[in-house]
């Protein structure tokens, strides 16, 4: 496999900040409750995750206990920090040892600057559920400002997310992290828009097959275009819908796997004339199509129309392989 399709992601952060929990939820189908019985990570745990077919995410979960951390920044530093594409640094927002957390972050940045200066740096301000709802935005802004200031001398531009295992924020963060690594995103964009010219759907969403992380959606692309043209976005869609859908379908997949079955496609006929199609698009992607009944007087999609849509999906497959 070529080096470019192998992506090394470093997951850093002090012990107990939530690294293993998030990894288990996103990549191993754990529920948030299950994470309570996870033990501490010893040294570095490597996982190799096939993502979108020819991409392998090499996730290095660096156990955060001091005894291991000291080694990462001394005897193991070139091994750990060489050829990194992405550093994901997790901060526990309720940590009582903020200075120590910052110290660790600075050490990571120092080594990253030296060994992988082109890496992208994401910071997750994690366990946000423990902060009072009306204080979250403010805390996020204050912490991001502080962290960016710390990062400036190392020339890294941070991308930050508030996250929690108890809501959809974790999916949002990980979707964006992983999408930042996909090289042919522009091609996917244009093929998806072309496909929607045929279907005229309310929205089409692409999900990665195993993690159900969102890769792309037609309405997000439209919103981005509107923002670029400085138009007021007309969207009234729930901004958390992707993460909610990911959660629902993963839970559904898990439930039916207990019955030793799976699904290749799923059609939900909504009572308000909205119909949802979930189907396998490629070996690595699921597609979700949301269609509104054009005839307001009918709330009915015929079997013929359903098979036509599934046929259209089959025809589009080659554009996303």
Residues 22/174, Cβ–Cβ less than 8 Å: yes
Shortest Å distance, C-beta 34 to ligand GTP: 9
Question: Do residues 204 and 192 touch, judged by C-beta distance below 8 A?
Answer: yes
Residues 6+ apart with CB under 8 A from 147: 91, 105, 123, 158, 160
How far apart, in whole angstroms, are the C-alpha atoms of residue 298 and residue 84?
Answer: 54
Choices 163-171, 178-186, 271-279, 292-300 (CB under 6 A): range interacting with ligand GTP: 163-171
Nearer to ligand GTP, 88 or 121 (CB): 88
Give dist(CA 83, CA 184) in Å, integer.
21
Sites for ligand GTP among residues 198-257 (CB under 6 A): none
165 touches ligand GTP (CB under 6 A): yes
Answer yes or no whether residue 67 interacts with ligand GTP by CB under 6 A: no
Question: How many CB atoms sit inside 10 A of residue 50's CB?
Answer: 13
* Neighbouring residues of 257: CB distance < 8 A, sequence distance ≥ 6: none
Q: By C-alpha distance, which of 78, 134, 141 is closest to 110?
A: 78
Closest distance to ligand GTP from the beta carbon of 130 (Å): 5
122, 158 contact by CB (below 8 A):
yes
**Nearest CB to ligand GTP, comparing residues 64 and 160:** 64
Q: Which is nearer to ligand GTP, 174 or 286 (CB)?
A: 174
Single residue of 7, 10, 21, 219 touching ligand GTP by CB under 6 A: 21
Tell me how far apart the alpha carbons of residues 212 and 175 are, in angstroms, rounded to a whole number. 9
Q: Which stretch binds ligand GTP (CB under 6 A): 18-26, 137-145, 193-201, 291-299?
A: 18-26
CB of 226 to ligand GTP, least distance (A): 33
Largest Cα–Cα separation, the chain: 71
Give the Cβ contact number of residue 295 at 10 Å.
8
Q: Shortest distance, CB of residue 175 to ligand GTP, whole angstroms? A: 17
36 binds ligand GTP (CB under 6 A): yes
Based on the shown chain and the rule CB under 6 A, indicate whether residue 44 belongs to the binding site for ligand GTP: no
Interacting residues with ligand GTP between 79 and 138 (CB under 6 A): 126-127, 129-130
Q: Does 13 bind ligand GTP (CB under 6 A)?
A: yes
Q: Does residue 8 touch ligand GTP according to CB under 6 A?
A: no
Q: Is 18 in the site for ligand GTP (CB under 6 A)?
A: yes
Q: How far is the CB of 62 from ligand GTP (least distance, A)?
A: 7
> Exactly one of 59, 64, 88, 284 binds ligand GTP (CB under 6 A); which one?
64
Nearer to ligand GTP by Cβ, of 90 and 289: the residue is: 90
Which of 5, 15, 95, 222 is in the footprint of ligand GTP by CB under 6 A? Answer: 15
Q: Measured from the CB atom, is 16 or 273 closer to ligand GTP?
A: 16
Q: Measured in Å, how far apart are the chain's first and last C-alpha atoms?
A: 17
Residue-by-residue DSSP string for 158-202: EEEEEE-TTSTHHHHHHHHHHHTT-TTHHHHHHHHHHHHHHH--S
Residue 38 binding ligand GTP, by CB under 6 A: yes
Q: Which of 304, 188, 206, 284 is nearest to 246 (CA)?
A: 206
Residue 287 in contact with ligand GTP, rule: CB under 6 A: no
Give the residues lining the site for ligand GTP (CB under 6 A): 13, 15-21, 35-36, 38, 40-41, 63-65, 126-127, 129-130, 164-166
């Amino acid at each position: 496999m070529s080096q470019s399709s192998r992506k090394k992601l470093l997951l850093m952060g002090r012990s107990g900040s939530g690294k293993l929990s998030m990894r288990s939820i996103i990549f191993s189908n754990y529920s948030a409750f299950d994470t309570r019985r996870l033990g501490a990570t010893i040294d570095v745990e490597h996982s190799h995750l096939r993502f979108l077919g020819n991409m392998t995410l090499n996730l290095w979960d660096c156990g955060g206990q001091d005894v291991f951390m000291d080694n990462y920044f001394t005897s193991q530093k070139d091994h750990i920090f060489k050829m990194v594409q992405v550093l994901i640094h997790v901060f526990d927002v309720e940590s009582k040892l903020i200075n120590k957390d910052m110290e660790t972050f600075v050490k990571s940045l120092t080594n990253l600057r030296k060994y992988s200066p082109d890496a992208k740096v994401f910071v997750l301000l994690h366990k946000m559920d423990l902060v009072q709802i009306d204080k979250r935005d403010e805390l996020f802004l204050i912490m991001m400002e502080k962290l960016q200031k710390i990062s400036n001398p190392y020339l890294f531009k941070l991308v930050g997310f508030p996250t929690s295992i108890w809501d959809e924020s974790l999916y949002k963060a990980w979707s964006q992290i992983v999408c930042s690594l996909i090289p042919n995103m522009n091609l996917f964009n244009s093929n998806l828009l072309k496909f929607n010219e045929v279907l005229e759907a309310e929205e089409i969403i692409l999900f990665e097959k195993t993690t159900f992380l969102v890769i792309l959606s037609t309405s997000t692309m439209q919103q981005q275009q509107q923002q670029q043209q400085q138009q007021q976005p007309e969207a009234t869609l729930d901004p958390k819908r992707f993460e909610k859908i990911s959660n629902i379908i993963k839970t559904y997949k898990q439930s039916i796997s207990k019955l030793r079955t799976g699904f290749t496609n799923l059609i939900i006929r909504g009572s308000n004339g909205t119909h949802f199609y979930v189907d396998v698009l490629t070996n690595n992607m699921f597609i979700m199509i949301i269609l509104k009944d054009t005839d307001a007087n009918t709330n009915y999609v015929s079997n013929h129309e359903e098979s036509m849509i599934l046929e259209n999906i089959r025809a589009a497959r080659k554009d996303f392989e």
